[in-house]
């Protein structure tokens, strides 16, 4: 039981990444034609990464956007937006991919959600961001999308889902305030 869970931390995987056999066995998203009833892949894909650089890049992005969102929404809403956007992104991506891993669809969802929150509250979107965070987020938003249609679909579907999640949260919040 311990061995399969530690394979991702082997030097070979951390250095070389993209070990599709291992990643496929443990939850990589596959094309809808090959999913064979393994719908759990729509969630596990969010927690798998193709190497240490991929993991660190996504971790930094989650830290930056999460740090600012946690000041504005509660933890349950944050986790819900992350998971819903990751799931929706996976649903769209499985139609165009032969294999995908990563949390970027969920992260783009957080970014879309954050933008809506700030606009709805009339706040300047980058108000609390440090310059290095702005530079890193811009790089995160642009560079991965240069790699092809799969990433663009994952990111765009996550981003749009994040916008929708924020609009729904805003409606729920408004309704709860009216009922008080």
Spell out the per-residue pLDDT of the chain, length 180, in tens: 333 334 455 555 555 555 667 777 777 887 888 888 889 889 999 998 887 888 888 999 999 999 888 888 889 999 999 999 999 999 999 998 888 888 999 999 999 999 998 888 887 777 777 888 888 888 877 877 677 677 889 999 999 999 999 999 888 877 666 555
13 is a catalytic site residue:
no
Q: Which residues contact 169 (CB under 8 A, 6 or more apart)?
A: 73, 77, 81, 113
Q: Alpha helix (H) ranges present in the chain?
A: 2-6, 11-16, 20-26, 41-44, 52-69, 75-93, 104-120, 131-142, 149-179
What pTM did the predictor assign? 0.82
| Active-site pick, 13, 49, 68, 155 | 155
| Active-site pick, 104, 113, 157, 166 | 104
**Can you list the domains of the chain with their CATH numbers?**
11-169 (1.20.1540.10)
Alpha-carbon distance 10 to 106, whole Å?
A: 26
155 is a catalytic site residue:
yes
Residue 52: exposure state from Cβ atoms within 10 A (0-12, 13-18, ≥19): middle
């Amino acid at each position: 039981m311990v061995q399969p869970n530690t394979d991702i931390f082997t030097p070979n995987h951390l250095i070389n990444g993209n070990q599709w056999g291992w990643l496929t066995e443990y939850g990589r998203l596959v094309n809808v034609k090959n999913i064979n009833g393994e719908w759990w892949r729509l969630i596990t894909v969010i927690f798998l990464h193709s190497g240490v650089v991929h993991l660190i890049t996504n971790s930094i992005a989650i830290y930056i956007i999460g740090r600012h969102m946690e000041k504005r929404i509660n933890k349950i809403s944050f986790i819900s937006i992350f998971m819903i956007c990751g799931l929706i992104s996976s649903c769209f991506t499985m139609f165009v991919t032969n294999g995908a891993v990563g949390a970027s669809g969920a992260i783009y969802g957080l970014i879309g959600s954050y933008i809506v929150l700030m606009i709805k509250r009339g706040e300047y979107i980058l108000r609390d961001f440090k310059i290095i965070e702005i530079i890193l987020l811009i790089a995160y938003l642009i560079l991965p999308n240069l790699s092809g249609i799969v990433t663009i679909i994952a990111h765009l579907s996550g981003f749009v889902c994040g916008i929708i999640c924020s609009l729904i949260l805003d409606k729920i919040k408004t309704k709860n305030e009216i009922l008080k």
